[in-house]
Structure 1
């Protein structure tokens, strides 16, 4: 995630506020809230893109073996983004075991699956790649509430479902150039 220069200034002020909460202006609080909303929006967009990637992966997996190259590339991208392979992925990779890329991905997926099972058996969960920013500590909200009063949870924004585009909408098919039509030979006129 990249921040603009203005967002970095707000982030720097937010960190200063967290360290020294006594000097907080209303403008600083509003800037921090806008930055938090921007971060939440970026996380939501990341989740939407991840959902699109996983839906695309499922479509390619269903069309195997004809889509093996595309499926293996999408699976590698999904794994890099923190995707945990499921039984369908392992079965598909076993079916494609003759392909060296599929064999390498199968070994990687087995290791990830084993790691997830060991973590689950140990009573801990595999950490998520990203967590949602809910609130910034410090500032006027903490000063306004007495220490004995529990903090009220911040209400979550209702999720607005967005349609997931199809691969053809995101990556339109490449059009081949029309074959060049040879020019007709010049006509010779008879003078007579």
Structure 2
């Protein structure tokens, strides 16, 4: 995740406020809330993309041996994203180990599985690639400066923090996000009569 210059300014102001609490102008509070919403949206989108990748991986694995190239590429992408290989992946890679790329992936999967088992046996939690869902940022301490002439509003109880709600738009299907891979068609050469 990368921040732009404006987002970094908002983040810097928010961190300065945490270190040195003081009332914030309404504009700064709104900037912080917008930034928190954008971060939540990006985290949700990353989770959806991971789910699509894993669904595509299962689909390609089910279509083996005809989908070898696509399966190996998707498995590499999934492993780079922190995916723990499942027994079906090991079985597929063992069947394909005559291919150098599959043999290398099989060895990589064995190493990852061994590391995961050692971590669990040691009582350590295996770090997950995606951040755990967090509650929405509802208010900043010392946020809005209360104006002296503003009437006091009745306080409503704060809702308990819960997981971020997904956007209202429907999630796209994996086939919409990851179109099938097609081989390029060689150009047809035409002979000119002369």
Both structures adopt the same fold (TM-score exceeding 0.5): yes
Q: Which runs of 5+ in 2 are unaligned?
A: 144-157
C-alpha distance after superposition, 1:13-46 (max 9, x if no partner): 1111111122322222221111011011111111
Equivalent in the alignment of 1:114 = 114
Corresponding pairs, count = 177
Unaligned runs of 5+ in 1: 142-150, 186-192
**1:169 positional shift:** 6.3
Larger radius of gyration: 1
Q: CA RMSD in A?
A: 2.8
Q: TM-score, normalised by structure 1?
A: 0.78
Residue 140 (structure 1) shift: 2.7
Kindly indicate whether residue 67 of structure 2 is the aligned counterpart of residue 94 of structure 1.
no
Contact 1:52 1:165 in 2 (8 A): yes
Deviations 1:123-162 (A, max 9, x none): 2321122324534996237xxxxxxxxx963243433551
Give the match for residue 153 of structure 1: 160
TM-score by length of 2: 0.77
Deviations 1:48-107 (A, max 9, x none): 111111111111111111211211111011100111111111111111111111111111
The one of the two structures with greater contact order (alpha-carbon pairs below 8 A, sep at least 6) is 2
* CA distance, structure 2, for counterparts of residue 95 and residue 172 of structure 1: 23
Residue 189 of structure 1: aligned partner: none
